[in-house]
Amino acid sequence: MNSRHKRNKFYSILKKYDDKLVHNYLEYGPDGLREKLNVKSNELWKVIFDYLVFEKEVVKHCVRNNTAYIHNLFVEHGPTAIKEAFGLEDKRYEDIWEYIMDYIGISRGALYEYVTEHAGVYRGKIYHGKSSTIREDICIQKNKYERVWGEILNILLNAVSTRTFTYSAFEHGISLFSKLYNQGRIQRSLRLSQFKKI
Q: What is the pLDDT of residues 96-112, one digit of tens each?
A: 999 999 999 999 999 99
Identify which of 155, 153, 160, 149 has the alpha carbon closest to the alpha carbon of residue 113: 155
Of the pLDDT bands very low, low, confident and very high (cuts 50, 70, 90), residue 8 is confident
Question: Measured on CA atoms in the order 147, 152, 153, 157, is the torsion positive or negative?
Answer: positive
First CA to last CA across the chain, in angstroms?
114
In whole angstroms, what is the distance from residue 164 CA to residue 171 CA? Answer: 11
Helix axis angle for 110-117 and 67-77, nearest 10°, is 30
Contact status, residue 86 vs residue 59, Cβ threshold 8 Å: yes
Q: Which of 36, 2, 40 is nearest to 20 (CA)?
A: 36
Let me know: does 35 contact 45? Beta carbons within 8 Å: no
Tell me the domain boundaries of the chain.
1-56, 57-197
pLDDT digits (tens, 9 = 90+) for 123-149: 888 777 777 889 999 999 999 999 999
Q: What is the DSSP letter of 108?
A: T
**Overall pTM > 0.85:** no
pLDDT given for residue 2 in this prediction:
67
- 49 pLDDT above the threshold of 70: yes
Mention every residue, 6+ apart, whose C-beta is less than 8 A from residue 97.
83, 86, 88, 139
